[in-house]
Amino acid sequence: MSDAPLSIEKIVNGGYGLARRDNGQIVLLRHVLPGETVKARILLEKKGFAEAAATEILAASPHRVPPPCPKYGRCGGCDLQHCDYGQQLQIKKGIIADLLQRAPQSALQQAVPLLADPIASPQVFGYRQRLRLQIDEHRKPGFRRFHSHQCVPITECLLARAELNRALQQLQGQPLFHKLLAGTTELELLLNPSNASVVCLIHLSRKPRPADMKQAEALVATLPAIERIEFHGQDFLPCGPIIKGNEDRNKELQFLLPPFPGHTDKSISLAWEAGGFCQVNLAQNIQLIQTVLDFCKPDAETTVLDLFCGMGNFSIPLAMQSASLLGIEGQGSAIRCSRKNSDQAGLTNTLFEKSPIHTRCQTLAAAGRSFDCVVIDPPRQGAPGLAPHIATLTRKRLVYISCDPATLCRDLGELVQSGFAIKKLQPVDMFPQTHHIETVALLEKEIKY
């Protein structure tokens, strides 16, 4: 179909601009902004809507800026580099508000006025402490195109910390590295904030061979930016780490949290294992934790349940001010780290358990357990079906941290039906230049008279 002018009404979840054809059919486009008029080519007709690509900007938004990345539009990572940062924040707030307004529960529609402006990230580029790269058929690392398995090779990413880009460029200059990539599906680079060096995880499609280990040893010895190399894969346990000289083989990655105003008066050291989860934007993580602490309002009598507690990102700061904290997590490496982090902080009021979240919540509820404050930070898919158990376990306050507005709204709907009232909604921008947004929701048990 030939190009047709379209007016962009808003940006919806997924980062798509929404427009309507003359017949009222919805059209979704990427890399456009609200208020713009564009020419577009229809790419795909689906039931109820069409997908299109903008071919010409007829009337540009005043918020449109030249994207600084030369790969923008081909790489499938960023989708808001063409927008100034202040407007990015408003777009993200609008995405959450749109989902709330379209929710079937009136309580969610009525919560739109509670939605605060997003907390801006301290850095809008160069903030990521982790990169996960695909390896193409030419043994070059890069990112996949949008909705494609095709890889766009890169030598740097503007969202990555400078230390990661330096390590990537050093690796790509080594023939041994290209040999290692022969059996590699993915390459992961992790910044160790404690010493500004980089851990390299090589994901192999087969078990590592002696030649792989020798090549990795040579690379670590040669490249100053690389702290260690590990081999990971689906069909074998992690191999390594290959380290420099006499370094500690069991050393975790580590970062330092400052004191949190109104809550803690000393800094906190948190460690996690390579391959485990840690927030990618460490500077913004500080503001995320501050928000969670402000919503939880822990004191010396507060009992806390932290679900999907990970390595203790929220647990340790919360426990420093609470009577007791129970953290539950399904990943063994995260539980190992949360226990170590608790010991490192000198805490004696914590208990961390490895268990599937739904199963453990059922047993806790069946045992009559309840907590003053429940914190839940689920993965992108949210926590469907957990609301009735959370309602049983929560005495006063529930703080829900979400990285997906769609699953957040679904779960908020279930929680409202289970007896909670939404009190606050605070977006926190962890992912500048993309449509992704973190949201912290405060809910309280409704008092029935």
Catalytic residue set: 403
| Residue 262 neighbours by CB under 8 Å, 6+ apart | 293, 294
Is the bond into 259 cis (omega within 30 degrees of 0)? no
Buried b (16+ CB within 10 A) or exposed e, 307-321: bbbbbbbbbbbbbbb
User: What percent of the chain is helix, strand and coil (3-state, nearest 5)?
Assistant: 25, 35, 40
Q: CB count, 10 Å around CB of 171? A: 23
* Distance between CA atoms of residues 317 and 176, nearest Å: 43
* Distance between CA atoms of residues 435 and 448, nearest Å: 39
Q: What element of type H or E holds 9?
A: none
* Distance between CA atoms of residues 174 and 177, nearest Å: 5
Q: Are strands 350-354 and 324-329 parallel, antiparallel or unpaired?
A: parallel
CA proximity to 379, closest of 254, 255, 277 = 277
How far out from the chain centre does Cα 201 lie?
Answer: 19
Collapsing DSSP to helix, strand or coil, 222 comes out as: helix
Query: Exposed, middle or buried: residue 74 (CB in 10 Å: 0-12, 13-18, 19+)?
Result: middle
